[in-house]
Chains A and B, each alone.
Chain A
Amino acid sequence: ETGVTQTPRHLVMGMTNKKSLKCEQHLGHNAMYWYKQSAKKPLELMFVYSLEERVENNSVPSRFSPECPNSSHLFLHLHTLQPEDSALYLCASSQDGPSSGANVLTFGAGSRLTVL
């Protein structure tokens, strides 16, 4: 596989469920990101990992918990979500970390989350 792969593509969960989103990049990149995309809103940066260390937590509620076990994999653990958390969650990677001038992000196709 090539590029950035996200699973599952669609997820429906209740507010009391616990689920995880998975992202895998096959590009040899050093930084990975989680973005949230809601209808009619800009992409919102949630978390950034550079060389497996979290370098950004953009005031995200604790019901979202990221995990980056290695430079190729990124997870977003979800628990006790709210209906307003329904959105498209996009994973991305970049060659260099956020402190460099790198601006080219490669995105996955996203995980469409619906919270009932």
Chain B
Amino acid sequence: GQNIDQPTEMTATEGAIVQINCTYQTSGFYGLSWYQQHDGGAPTFLSYNALDGLEETGRFSSFLSRSDSYGYLLLQELQMKDSASYFCAVPPGNQGGKLIFGQGTELSVKP
């Protein structure tokens, strides 16, 4: 079966850096995705890692280590608008787009 673990809640200060970790157990592996969801809004795609290493997109970076079944989302120069839930997601085995989501990490950014 599939199992995805990420912290339930995190709190950080405006301007700081926060790292949201994600570990997964799947029968195969096809990539790790991150989605952001503001309260009352739709989840929106942030990043996708198919290979090991760091992918950077502006203030957000995502890292993957396939040998450790581990990834993280790094948010730099935090802003109040970054307060949201962040989900990591992996496809089960070789089934591509049928993403299985973690429970989500609710990030609160304080002034």
Which of chain A's residues have a CB closer than 8 A to the CB of B89? Answer: 103
A97 is contacted by which of B45, B50, B96, B100 (Cβ under 8 Å)?
B96
Contact (Cβ within 8 A) A104 B33 = yes
Q: Does A31 reach chain B (CB closer than 8 Å)?
A: yes
**B4 proximal to A (CB < 8 A):** yes
B43 touches A43 (CB 8 A): yes
Q: Is the CB of A42 within 8 A of B48?
A: no
Per the bound structure, the CA–CA distance linking A15 and B45 in Å amounts to: 35
B45 proximity list for chain A (CB < 8 A): 104-106
CA distance A98 to B103 in the complex (A): 21
| Pair B97/A105 contact, Cβ less than 8 Å | yes
Q: Look across to chain A and name the residue whose beta carbon is closest to the beta carbon of B42.
A: A107
Residue interface bits B80-111, CB-to-A below 8 A is 1, else 0: 00000001010100011111111110000000
- Number of residues in A with C-beta < 8 Å to the partner? 27
Give the A-B contact count at a CB cut-off of 8 A: 70
Min CB–CB distance B31 → chain A (angstroms): 5
Is B58 in the interface zone, CB < 8 Å from A? no
Most interface-central of B33, B43, B44 (chain A CB within 10 A): B43
Query: 20 other contacts beyond A98-B96, A103-B89, with CB at 8 A cut-off?
Result: A41-B103, A42-B4, A43-B43, A43-B87, A48-B98, A90-B43, A94-B97, A97-B97, A98-B98, A99-B96, A101-B31, A102-B96, A103-B33, A103-B97, A105-B35, A105-B45, A105-B99, A107-B42, A108-B42, A109-B41
Residues on A lying within 8 angstroms of B by beta carbon are 4, 31, 33, 40-43, 45, 48, 56, 90, 94, 96-110
Instruction: Show the binding face of B for A, using Cβ within 8 Å.
Output: 4, 30-31, 33, 35, 41-45, 48, 50, 87, 89, 91, 95-104
Q: 25 A-B Cβ contacts within 8 A?
A: A31-B97, A41-B103, A42-B100, A42-B102, A43-B43, A90-B43, A94-B97, A96-B97, A98-B95, A98-B96, A98-B97, A99-B95, A100-B97, A101-B50, A101-B96, A102-B96, A102-B97, A103-B48, A103-B89, A103-B97, A104-B33, A104-B45, A104-B48, A105-B97, A107-B42
